[in-house]
Amino acid sequence: MGEVGFDVLVIGSGASGLAAAVSAERAGARVAVAAKGSLQSCNSAKAQGGIQAAFGDDDSPEQHAGDVWRSSHETADMQLVETLTSEAPAAIHWLEELGVAFTRENGGYRLARCGGASRKRLLQVGDRTGHAITKGLREAWERGSGTTFEHSGLRDLTPRENGWRATCGENVIDATTVVLAAGGRCYAEAEARGELSTNHPGATGEVTKLALGLGAESRDLDALQYHPNGGAWPANMQGYSIPETTRAYGAVLLNAEGEEFTDSLGPRDAVSQAIFDEVEAGRGVETPDGRPAVWLDTTRIPEADADVSLPYMLRRYRAAGIDPLGEKIFTYPVLHYQNGGLVIDTEAETTLEGVYACGEIAGGTHGRNRMMGNSLLECVVFGRRAGKAAAEKGSA
State the Rg of the chain over Cα.
Answer: 21
What is the SS3 assignment for 268? helix
Backbone φ, ψ for residue 254 (5° rounding): -130, 145
Alpha carbon distance, N-terminus to C-terminus of the chain: 27
Q: What is the rounded CA–CA span in Å between residue 58 and residue 66?
A: 14
- 133, 380 Cβ separation under 8 angstroms: yes
Strands (E), 120-190: 122-123, 147-149, 154-160, 163-168, 171-180
Catalytic residue among 128, 268, 316, 368: 268
Amino acid at 290: G
Judge whether 119 counts as a catalytic residue.
Answer: no
Which of 36, 10, 21, 22 shows the shortest CA–CA distance to 164?
10
Beta strand 224-231 with 285-286: parallel, antiparallel or unpaired? unpaired
What length does the chain have? 396
Q: How far is it, in rounded angstroms, from Cα 343 to Cα 226?
A: 22
Using the Cα atoms of residue 310, residue 369, residue 361 and residue 8 in order, give the sign of their dihedral. Answer: positive
DSSP 110: -
Checking DSSP bridges between strand 341-343 and strand 104-105, what pairing results, if any?
A: unpaired
CB atoms within 10 A of CB 156: 11
Instruction: Name residue 318's amino acid.
Output: R
Angle at 296 between CA 292 and CA 299, to 5 degrees: 145
Known catalytic residues are 268
